[in-house]
Structures are given as C-alpha cells and as structure tokens.
Amino acid sequence: MQPLLYKKLDNNNVQCNICYNRCIIAPGKVSRCLSRKNVDGEMVLNTYAMASSIAVDPIEKKPLYQFHPGTKVFSVGGWGCNFQCKHCQNWHISQDMQENKGYCLPPEKMIELAIEHKCEGVCWTYNEPAIWLEYTIDSAKLAKEKGLYTAYVTNGFMTIEALDLIAPYLDVFRVDLKSFDDEFYREISGIKSGKGVFETARHAKELGMHIEAVTNIIPTKNDSEENLKNLAEWIAENLGKDTPWHVTRFFPNYKLDNIEPTPIETLKKAEELGKQAGLKYIYLGNIK
Ligand code: SF4
C-alpha cells in the first residue's frame, strides 16, 4: 500500500505531512504515532488494516447527536496516536501496539461487516483516525459506494492537505477542541501547538462536513472561564452557532489519576458561556 503525503529527505530520512507533527523519520525508525516506519529510506505503512477494536455503537455514543440519530455505526479503531494525552481513556491502544491482540480488517471486510451488522454508517474512532489516512480513505470510498455514511472521531490535528484527500468520502468531522490555550496541548497532549486543530476544523466546515465539537473539561487544566468562553466564541464564529458543543466531565485516568472529577457546576458554567456566545446546542456529557 502506497503511503500518502510524505517526502524523501537527505540521508535517507523521510518526512510525513499527515499531521502537524510533520515527523522526520530516520532510517530504521518507527514514527511517534506508530503508523509508519522508515525502511532503507522508504516510508512504509506500519498499521494498515490492523484494527485494535471493533464495535457496533449507537451514533450518539461518539458523541454525535445531530447526524442520523437513532442509527447504528460500525466503529473501528487502530493502533497508535499522534498525541500522547495524559488522560487518554484508550492509552492501551493509542500508546502501544499489540499485534497479536488485534484484527486484520481489510477495507472490503470492514464494509462487509458494517452491512452485515445493519449499520447505516462507519466511523474510525478509539484512536486518531488520521494517522491511518490511507486505510480510512480506502474504506471510506467503499463505504460511500455502498451508501453508508462515514465519520471521523478525531483530535483534529491532521493537516489541511490530509483532510482534503479524504474529504470527498467523509461526511462527519467529530472533533475534540481540547483548549484554546496552547499550553494545554503542550502539557497534556505532548504536541508543540494545538493551533492546527482549529485551522483544520474550520476547513472541515468550509468543505461542508457535519461537525460536532467536544471539550473534555479537566479541573485546573482547561476549566478557566476565559478558556471556555474563548472556545465557545471561536466555535460560534468559525463553525457556526448551530454547531453542537459537547462539554464532558473528566474522570481520573491514566497519568492524570490525581485530579478530581469535573464538578457539575463547571459543566453548567460552560453551558452558560456557550449560550452567551450564541451556541444553540450544548450538551453536558459523562454526567450519569
Ligand atoms: S501522522 Fe504520525 S508520522 Fe505522520 S506527522 Fe503525524 S505523528 Fe508524524
């Protein structure tokens, strides 16, 4: 399978331009997201069609509340991630690869299973789908041929050029807007800057995709009134006031197991700020 969006550099290095990390991978090394490797100066896909997780979910679980409600979506995750979030709920698949525990799921098989399970759509979720760009494009094309909808559940860090490649076959961009403050992305997600997330989300809107945004609010990290206000205003201005905003409760997990769950009052405050910004659909998540 031919890797996309990479170039060869001097000394047999290769550079990937699928996400804003724009990794330079030395010969013999695997990318930080685990999805590709440099073999003798050639970029090689490391995880194509290797699924870590498969499930049939209600679309609302993604969460997606305003796109084909009541339907079942065939949900697939791979291995690795371009972020290293300290609170990742799926760290066992996003920060590791255990080939012997996964499934071989070629695009044809994925779509066949989706139809067999009476799903109306497919989504790539559980880990970051963009690092699996080649696989998601191949399976999205087949999904569209069969009349299924397609959705990315994404951290939004893919480059605009990567989004443009899958855009003709992608209906939904369910994007995490983790924080308006770059320091959060550095400290919590391990990347240099989150600015690209906002650029790409805006581009998804320009491309006409259905967008729903999620902010998981972590006490002391991204729960300031200023940050939540900035996020709400940015969504209203750039994605539109009709864009659903899911503000979800954090629970201690992985490397952030020393922080208390988000107080419900904080979610309500975010809701109030969202309304002040003009957002029409704000949903409080993880509260039951
Ligand atoms: S997709 Fe992976 S290899 Fe490519 S730039 Fe992002 S982190 Fe690096």
Q: Residue 133: CB within 6 Å of ligand 1?
A: no
Report which protein residue has its CA nearest ligand 1's atom 6: 19
| pLDDT tens-place values along the chain, 288 residues long | 899 999 999 999 999 999 999 999 999 999 999 999 999 999 999 999 999 999 999 999 999 999 999 999 999 999 999 999 999 999 999 998 887 778 999 999 999 999 999 999 999 999 999 999 999 999 999 999 999 999 999 999 999 999 999 999 999 999 999 999 999 999 999 999 999 999 999 999 999 999 999 999 999 999 999 999 999 999 999 999 999 999 999 999 999 999 999 999 999 999 999 999 999 999 999 987
Name every residue whose Cβ is closer than 8 Å to that of residue 89 and which is 6 or more positions away in sequence: 253, 254
Helices (H), 96-215: 107-116, 133-145, 160-166, 182-184, 195-206
Can you give the pLDDT at residue 142?
98
Q: Residue 19: CB within 6 Å of ligand 1?
A: yes
Can you give the pLDDT at residue 261?
97
Sequence ranges of the domains in the chain: 6-45, 50-285
Cβ burial of 233 (10 Å; 0-12, 13-18, 19+) is middle
Q: Residue 82: CB within 6 Å of ligand 1?
A: yes
Q: Residue 34: CB within 6 Å of ligand 1?
A: no
Report which protein residue has its CA nearest ligand 1's atom 7: 82
Ligand 1 geometric centre to CA of 37 (Å): 10
Q: Residue 35: CB within 6 Å of ligand 1?
A: yes
Can you give the pLDDT at residue 107?
98
Ligand 1 geometric centre to CA of 272 (Å): 37
How many CA atoms does the CB half-sphere of 218 hold within 13 Å? 21
Report which protein residue has its CA nearest ligand 1's atom 2: 33
Can you tell me the distance from the alpha carbon of 12 to that of 190, in angstroms, rounded to the nearest whole number?
27
Cβ burial of 123 (10 Å; 0-12, 13-18, 19+) is buried
Report which protein residue has its CA nearest ligand 1's atom 3: 31
* CA-to-CA dists, residue 193 to 83, 102, 196, 216, angstroms: 11, 32, 7, 18
Q: Residue 37: CB within 6 Å of ligand 1?
A: no
Residue 76 main-chain phi, psi, to 5 deg: -130, 135
- Residue 219 CB neighbour total at 10 angstroms: 14
Q: Residue 85: CB within 6 Å of ligand 1?
A: no
Write down how long the chain is. 288
Q: Residue 23: CB within 6 Å of ligand 1?
A: yes
From the options 3.20.20.70, 1.10.10.10, 3.30.70.1140, 3.30.300.30, give the CATH code of 50-285.
3.20.20.70
CB 240 within 8 A of CB 202: no
Q: Residue 279: CB within 6 Å of ligand 1?
A: no
Helices (H), 117-194: 133-145, 160-166, 182-184
Closest ligand 1 atom to 35 CA = 2
Name every residue whose Cβ is closer than 8 Å to that of residue 246 and which is 6 or more positions away in sequence: 63, 65, 212, 213, 214, 215, 282, 283, 284, 285
Paired tokens of 172: 């939904």
Paired tokens of 45: 């896909």
The pTM of the full predicted model, rounded to 2 decimals, is 0.97
Q: Probe ligand 1: pick from 17, 36, 189, max atoms within 8 Å of CB?
A: 36
Residue recorded with tokens 């066949």: 112
